[in-house]
């Protein structure tokens, strides 16, 4: 929901970033306030995923200009784990498999790292099991997931649900979901979308990165941004996504009135 | 996608055990010849059979060539530039701990091996070896009540010469290989364990080896005998100070398991491995072999190898008794310029013998880590089975991992399985864990201990956590 008086959580200004000398973000601006859901759309290669990785702090991406503030603090100076602990969450497009590391142990260590940061007490194995069993319901996952290695041998849908489970446990202030809808059948998509809606509240914000309207049928964004050439070229309400679905991205290319969001 | 600096930063942490104990040491002159061998024997006041054993070994050694088939390159070792015997200057072996030089007790305290009554580990008996001599053995009386003998090999030579004479050199013959022959000629101290018929050793036994002198070779000798129906679990640990010269360590370990007995031998090896440029560190050339002499006997080797500049080590099992079992569980971690060539030999001679090999190699920095193993099934070993699994993990992009499995079977009714895999800790795996609030060091440590879990599960409980910590320490410094 849009509330003019809400706190600004994320403020990106004039962000330029490159990977292996290849410039990808070229002057991106974005402001996200508490309670809002934003969708970022755009073609492959427009820089959507780069944006999410830069916010989360992936070492392969170098920021050469601009700034990213999270609750007024300079995010770019922080290690990725610090960003996570203070409330940034990136739901990966392709969650990686980590053989040998138990999912349960991983979730517990991650949850406790976040809890410590926000001044909550550490959960021991038993308390954590109670919490995780409760949160499993959000994504309708079977507890047997917990005994496996992180993402190892998970189907595409299971991996994405595991991402949302992590989000439910970490209770981030801002969740960036990078193509969480890709590779999901319609039932899994609904489960994931339901989870995201359930977790959204007036103190946090969600940034959905997606190609398609179909996720936005399940989660209604307050803002839709269209990226092209490494910046946001157009911003509108949820109707913009419907327009895009109908007219395709060529409609953006031909539109002379693309504006930048400040 | 790589940022090696990050990984490098983590795997390059200082060695915690690199201090030197300032203590007066009695050393003999450098070099080796028959007089030196005689001198060592006389210093230890040994019976004739042992002097003959040593001299025979020395003469054999002169005819042998240093092996060069391993994936190890190192400068030539000058065997005349090594001191073959060094001992802290304390008159005789002390009867009680109160008489041991406090500096030595302090040293072991610092290493996390408290020896005095109040602080010593409960339920673990420790034999502490400093350079060439055993300093103290704890819980001896308690063990004696069960008929278990646990003492230094020097003491065993005096107290139980007939046992030593009966078993010494029967599993690793004096001329077995270059390093074993050298050890047989000049071995200094080590542990002796004897578990009589039908006795389950009531506590874990452990030896802790500490090299303190920089120019002294360490040649320890361990002999463990389990009589019919006996069982024992034994662990050795090792550390050394940091010197910029290389120190030679050539040990021999012999295990003998009679009918229905079992010996579990675990090693946590953390000798100084040299600095990041590969200067200094221990050359670790070790012959370890167990013989399942009796029916249904079992020998299990577990090793966590993290130290040494060079590791050449193949703990093996001769499965002679029918239905005997051999096991080898290994984690070998190399970093910087360390080189390890390690593995096992499973020699199946008896019927229905079984062996399991699980080897996990982790290579970081510019190190090289090879698994070399032999599974041999003899013509009479009907119904024998082997399962081998060799996994390698690479950290960073300059480390090397190799696997050399040799399989020889003369028996059609045998089954041999071999699985191998190589993986790599990728920047993306690290980033994934980091993006969930888990620090880089902890992330690597989680992945490495996950990779090693199958082996750690085999270690005695008291030491599994220790091993996990040691790896974490090697990789990150400050855990614990």
Chain B residue with the nearest C-alpha to that of A88? B435
**Do residue A96 and residue B432 have CB atoms under 8 angstroms apart?**
yes
ipTM of the complex: 0.94
Would you state the pLDDT for residue B216? 79
Instruction: Find, among A221, A213, A174, A200, the residue nearest to A71 by Cα.
Output: A174
Rg, chain A, Cα only: 18
The 10 Å CB-count burial string (b at 16+, else e) for B432-441 is bbbbbbbbbb
**Residue A119 structure tokens:** 């001044």
Q: Which of A30-34, A253-257, B156-160 has the lowest mean pLDDT?
A: A253-257
Nearest to A59 among B6, B433, B442 (CB): B6
Is the pLDDT assigned to residue A260 strictly greater than 90? Answer: no
Would you state the pLDDT for residue B469? 67
Angle between helices A186-199 and A156-170 (to 10 degrees): 10
- The span from the CA of B56 to the CA of B59, in Å, is 5
Mean pLDDT of chain A: 91
Would you state the pLDDT for residue B397? 82
- The span from the CA of B159 to the CA of B439, in Å, is 54
Is the pLDDT assigned to residue A245 strictly greater than 70? Answer: yes
Is the pLDDT assigned to residue A111 strictly greater than 50? Answer: yes
Interface test with B, best of A93, A99, A168 (most B CBs within 10 A): A99
pLDDT one digit per residue (tens) for chain B, 480 residues: 333 334 444 444 566 676 777 777 778 888 999 999 999 999 889 999 999 999 999 999 999 999 988 888 888 889 999 889 887 776 555 556 666 777 777 777 776 667 766 566 666 777 877 776 777 777 888 899 999 999 989 999 999 999 999 999 999 999 999 999 999 999 988 899 999 999 999 988 888 877 777 777 889 899 999 999 999 999 887 666 666 777 888 999 999 999 999 999 988 887 777 777 778 888 899 999 999 999 999 999 998 888 888 899 999 999 999 999 999 999 998 888 889 999 999 999 999 999 999 999 988 888 899 999 999 999 999 999 999 999 999 888 888 999 999 999 999 999 999 999 988 888 899 999 999 999 988 888 888 888 888 888 887 766 666 667 666 666 643 222
Longest dimension (CA), chain B: 68
Of residues A13 and B209, which shows the higher confidence score?
Answer: A13
Cβ contacts (< 8 Å) between B423 and chain A: which residues?
99
**Do residue B434 and residue A79 have CB atoms under 8 angstroms apart?**
yes
The continuous run of DSSP H or E covering B326 comes out as strand B325-334
Cβ contacts (< 8 Å) between B435 and chain A: which residues?
56-57, 80-81, 83-84, 89-90, 92
- The span from the CA of B19 to the CA of A10, in Å, is 51
Question: What is each CA distance from A138 to A79, A147, A161, A192, B343, in whole angstroms?
Answer: 29, 18, 9, 9, 48
Instruction: Find, among A51, A83, A92, A166, the residue nearest to B429 by Cα.
Output: A92
Longest dimension (CA), chain A: 59
Is the pLDDT assigned to residue A55 strictly greater than 60? Answer: yes
- The span from the CA of B408 to the CA of B347, in Å, is 10
Question: What is each CA distance from B16 to B114, B240, B243, B473, in whole angstroms?
Answer: 17, 10, 13, 9
High-pLDDT (> 90) share of chain A, %: 74
Would you state the pLDDT for residue A262? 41
Chain A residue with the nearest C-alpha to that of B4? A59
**Any idea where the domains of chain B sit in the sequence?**
18-313, 315-424, 426-474
- The span from the CA of A83 to the CA of B434, in Å, is 9
B288-338 pLDDT, tens digit each: 999 999 999 999 999 888 888 889 999 999 999 999 999 999 999 888 888
- The span from the CA of B184 to the CA of B164, in Å, is 13
- The span from the CA of B359 to the CA of A42, in Å, is 48
The continuous run of DSSP H or E covering A28 comes out as strand A22-33
Give the 3-state DSSP-derived string for B272-300, with helices as H, strands as E and coil as C.
Answer: CCCCCCCCCEEEEEEEEEEEECCCCCEEE
A162-197 pLDDT, tens digit each: 999 999 999 999 999 999 888 888 888 998 899 999
- The span from the CA of B165 to the CA of B47, in Å, is 10
Would you state the pLDDT for residue B74? 85
Would you state the pLDDT for residue B462? 63
A220 in a domain, yes or no?
A: yes
Cβ within 8 Å of residue A59, ≥6 positions away: A80, B3, B6, B427, B431
- The span from the CA of B239 to the CA of B271, in Å, is 4
Opening angle at CA B57, ends B161 and B243, nearest 5: 95
- Mapping DSSP to helix (H, G, I), strand (E, B) and coil, where does residue B417 land? strand
**Residue A136 structure tokens:** 């499993």
Of residues A234 and B94, which shows the higher confidence score?
Answer: A234
Instruction: Find, among B269, B256, B166, the residue nearest to B208 by Cα.
Output: B269
Q: How far is A163 from chain B (nearest CA, A)?
A: 10
Q: How far is B1 from chain A (nearest CA, A)?
A: 5
Would you state the pLDDT for residue A97? 94
Would you state the pLDDT for residue B70? 86
Chain B residue with the nearest C-alpha to that of A148? B450
Would you state the pLDDT for residue B445? 83
CATH number at residue A12: 3.40.50.300
Would you state the pLDDT for residue B1? 32
Would you state the pLDDT for residue B10? 43
Is the pLDDT assigned to residue A257 strictly greater than 70? Answer: no
Say how many C-beta atoms besides its own lie within 10 A of residue B477's C-beta: 15
Question: What is each CA distance from B208 to B22, B112, B127, B179, in whole angstroms?
Answer: 19, 10, 6, 21
Is the pLDDT assigned to residue A6 strictly greater than 90? Answer: yes
- The span from the CA of A34 to the CA of A197, in Å, is 14
Q: Which of A35-39, A75-79, B104-108, B249-253 has the lowest mean pLDDT?
A: B104-108
Give the 3-state DSSP-derived string for B420-480, with helices as H, strands as E and coil as C.
Answer: EEEEEECHHHHHHHHCCCCCHHHHHHHHHHHHHHHHHCCCCHHHHHHHHHHHHHHHHCCCC
**Do residue B451 and residue A109 have CB atoms under 8 angstroms apart?**
no
- The span from the CA of A147 to the CA of A184, in Å, is 23
**Do residue B435 and residue A84 have CB atoms under 8 angstroms apart?**
yes
A148 in a domain, yes or no?
A: yes
Domain count, chain A: 1
A3 in a domain, yes or no?
A: no
- The span from the CA of B160 to the CA of B147, in Å, is 13
Are B416 and B407 in contact, with CB atoms under 8 Å apart?
A: yes
Would you state the pLDDT for residue B121? 63
Would you state the pLDDT for residue B6? 41
Would you state the pLDDT for residue B241? 66
The 10 Å CB-count burial string (b at 16+, else e) for A2-29 is eeeebeebbbbeebbbbbeeeebbbebb
Q: Which of A64-78, A205-219, B128-142, B443-457 has the highest mean pLDDT?
A: A64-78
Opening angle at CA A11, ends A8 and A13, nearest 5: 150
* Beta strand ranges found along B74-203 (DSSP E): 86-88, 124-130, 133-137, 149-152, 191-195
Rg, chain B, Cα only: 22
Structural domain harbouring A85: 8-254
Q: How far is A241 from chain B (nearest CA, A)?
A: 29
Chain A residue with the nearest C-alpha to that of B447? A101
**Residue B154 structure tokens:** 């020097």
Is the pLDDT assigned to residue A28 strictly greater than 90? Answer: yes
A261 in a domain, yes or no?
A: no
* Strand duo A231-236 + A61-70: pairing: unpaired
Q: How far is A85 from chain B (nearest CA, A)?
A: 5
């Amino acid at each position: 929901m849009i509330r003019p008086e809400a706190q600004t959580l994320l403020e990106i200004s004039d962000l330029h970033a490159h990977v292996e000398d290849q410039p990808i973000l070229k002057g991106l601006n974005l402001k996200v306030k508490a309670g809002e859901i934003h969708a970022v759309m755009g073609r492959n290669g427009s820089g959507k995923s780069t944006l999410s990785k830069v916010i989360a702090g992936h070492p392969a991406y170098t920021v050469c200009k601009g700034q990213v503030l999270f609750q007024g603090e300079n995010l770019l100076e922080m290690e990725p784990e610090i960003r996570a602990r203070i409330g940034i969450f990136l739901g990966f497009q392709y969650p990686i498999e980590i053989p040998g590391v138990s999912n349960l142990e991983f979730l517990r260590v991650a949850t406790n790292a976040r809890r410590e940061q926000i001044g909550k007490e550490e959960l021991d194995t038993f308390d954590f099991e109670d919490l995780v069993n409760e949160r499993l319901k959000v994504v309708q996952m079977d507890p047997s997931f917990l005994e496996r290695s992180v993402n190892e041998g998970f189907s595409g849908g299971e991996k994405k649900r595991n991402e949302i489970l992590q989000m439910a446990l970490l209770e981030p202030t801002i969740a960036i979901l990078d193509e969480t809808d890709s590779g999901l059948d319609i039932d899994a998509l609904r489960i994931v979308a339901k989870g995201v809606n359930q977790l959204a509240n007036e103190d946090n914000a969600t940034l959905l990165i997606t190609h398609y309207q179909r996720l936005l049928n399940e989660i209604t964004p307050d803002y839709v941004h269209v990226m092209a050439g490494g910046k946001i070229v157009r911003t509108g309400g949820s109707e913009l996504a419907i327009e895009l679905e109908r007219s395709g991205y060529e409609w953006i290319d031909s539109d002379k009135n693309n504006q930048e969001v400040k | 996608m790589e940022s090696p600096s990050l990984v490098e930063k983590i795997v390059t942490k200082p060695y915690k055990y690199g201090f030197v104990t300032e203590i007066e040491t009695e050393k003999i002159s450098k070099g080796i010849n028959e007089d030196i061998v005689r001198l060592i024997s006389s210093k230890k006041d040994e019976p004739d059979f042992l002097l003959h054993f040593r001299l025979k070994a020395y003469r054999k050694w002169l005819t042998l060539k240093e092996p060069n088939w391993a994936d190890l390159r190192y400068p030539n070792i000058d065997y005349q530039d090594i001191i073959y015997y060094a001992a802290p200057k304390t008159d005789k072996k002390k009867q009680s701990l109160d008489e041991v030089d406090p500096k030595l007790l302090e040293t072991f305290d610092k290493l996390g091996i408290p020896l005095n009554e109040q602080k010593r580990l409960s339920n673990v008996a420790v034999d502490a070896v400093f350079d060439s001599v055993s300093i103290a053995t704890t819980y001896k009386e308690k063990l004696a009540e069960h008929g278990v003998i646990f003492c230094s090999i020097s003491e065993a030579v005096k107290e139980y010469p007939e046992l030593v004479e009966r078993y010494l050199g029967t599993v690793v013959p004096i001329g077995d290989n270059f390093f074993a022959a050298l050890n047989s000629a000049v071995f200094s101290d080590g542990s002796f364990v004897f578990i009589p018929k039908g006795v389950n050793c009531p506590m874990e036994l452990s030896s802790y080896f500490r090299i303190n002198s920089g120019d002294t070779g360490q040649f320890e000798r361990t002999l463990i005998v389990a009589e019919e129906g006996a069982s024992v679990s034994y662990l050795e640990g090792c550390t050394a100070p940091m010197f910029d010269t290389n120190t030679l360590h050539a040990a021999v370990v012999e295990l003998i398991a009679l009918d229905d007995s079992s010996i579990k031998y675990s090693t946590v090896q953390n000798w100084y491995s040299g600095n990041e440029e590969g200067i200094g560190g221990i050359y670790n050339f070790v012959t370890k072999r167990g013989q399942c002499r009796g029916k249904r006997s079992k020998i299990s080797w577990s090793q966590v190898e993290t130290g040494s500049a060079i590791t050449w080590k193949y703990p093996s099992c001769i499965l002679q008794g029918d239905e005997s079992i051999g096991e080898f569980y290994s984690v070998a971690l190399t970093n910087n310029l360390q080189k390890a060539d390690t593995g096992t030999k499973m020699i199946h001679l008896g019927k229905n013998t079984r062996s399991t090999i699980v080897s996990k190699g982790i290579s970081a920095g510019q190190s090289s880590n090879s698994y070399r193993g032999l599974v041999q099934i003899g013509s009479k070993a009907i119904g024998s089975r082997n399962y081998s699994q060799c996994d390698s993990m690479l950290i960073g992009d300059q480390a090397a991992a190799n696997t050399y499995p040799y399989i020889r079977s003369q028996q059609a009714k045998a089954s041999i399985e071999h699985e191998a895999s190589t993986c790599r800790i990728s920047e993306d795996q690290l980033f994934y864990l980091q993006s969930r609030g888990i620090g880089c060091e902890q992330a690597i440590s989680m992945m490495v201990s996950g990779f090693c879990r199958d082996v750690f599960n085999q270690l005695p409980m008291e030491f599994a956590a220790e091993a996990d910590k040691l790896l974490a320490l090697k990789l990150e410094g400050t855990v614990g």
